[in-house]
Amino acid sequence: MKLANGAHSVHSLEHAETFHPVVGPVAEAETLYVRQLRLVERIQNHNGDFVVWDVGLGAAANAVTVLRATKGLRCSIHLLSFDHTLEPLRFALDNVRHLPYLEDYEAELSALLDKIHGAFKWGEQAVRWDLHVADFPSFLTQPAASALAKPHAIMFDAFSPAKNPAMWTQPLFGNLFRLLAPDRPCALPTYSRSTMLRVTLLLAGFYVGVGHATGEKEETTIAANALELLEEPLDQRWLERARRSTSAEPMWEPLYRQAPLAVGTWEKLKTHPQFR
């Protein structure tokens, strides 16, 4: 699908949603993940595997943009990509002429589709890449999830809560937070700025802040298990706005709806360490 700025992106007929719909796949990935997570700086100064969870592989735009941005570094990157289907990636590889961000990576991605696991080198950059094809909310509850390499960064790029509510529930983010290593600082940006999402992340255990603007969004959201990873943490003014919001209560089940904070949710929220 051709976007207004001339870039192309993949459109899902099943979900009636376009991947990276405003500025295109590369521009959004660079803004939301590469620059916001300070990946070049953090990977350059890191010893051993730098682990990135890519939640919502899609057509691999986020993952490939990260690899391209760090291509000149002497580093070791371990990518773990999650999705319930590999069809968008297969489609993208058949249409590389319209999706030039995949150029130079066709062979590696084709091999990855065949074997699910891959390893390759670009100069001094060593890459290990594992694909996990599964229902992500269910996968997080299984013993296999606890055995995964603990992330330093999470790129969270699921379809919208209205179209894919199972990926935005409080239990999902609670399970995700419990899988993080307490002694390994990890940040999770995503494109949404909704009060509901931010409350959900806070109740899951994350610290939460205002994320970088991208496309038509003046701000997004970034969460982390370490407060120092946030440039602009949510403050008391935001907390009071959340209390008055008509759409702030987390989704406890995979059913999209909007509701104000329940009394019990507010009591938990106001005692979060971020607001003490």
Q: Residue 152 has what pLDDT? A: 98
Measure CA of the first residue to CA of the last residue in the chain; give whole Å: 47
Residue 2's pLDDT band, with cuts at 50, 70 and 90, is very low
The candidate with the shortest Cα–Cα distance to 83, out of 75, 94, 91, is 91
pLDDT over threshold 70, residue 16: no
Q: Is the pLDDT of residue 86 over 70?
A: yes
Mean pLDDT within 182-187: 97
Contacts of residue 211, defined as CB under 8 A and 6 or more positions apart, other chains included, come to 32, 36, 189, 190, 193, 219, 220, 221, 222
Please say whether the beta carbons of 46 and 75 come within 8 A.
yes
Query: Which is more confident, 52 or 122?
Result: 52
User: What pLDDT was estimated at residue 213?
Assistant: 82
Q: What is the pLDDT of residue 218?
A: 86
Position 8 pLDDT exceeds 60: no
Asked if pLDDT for residue 185 goes beyond 90, the answer is: yes
Whether domain 11-275 has CATH 3.40.50.150: yes
Residue tagged 């065949």 (tokens): 114
The mean per-residue pLDDT over the stretch 220-248 comes to: 97
Tell me the pairing of strands 220-224 and 187-190: antiparallel
Sequence ranges of the domains in the chain: 11-275
Length of the chain: 276
| pTM for the whole structure | 0.90
Contacts (Cβ under 8 Å, ≥6 apart) of 221: 189, 190, 191, 192, 193, 194, 197, 198, 201, 208, 209, 210, 211
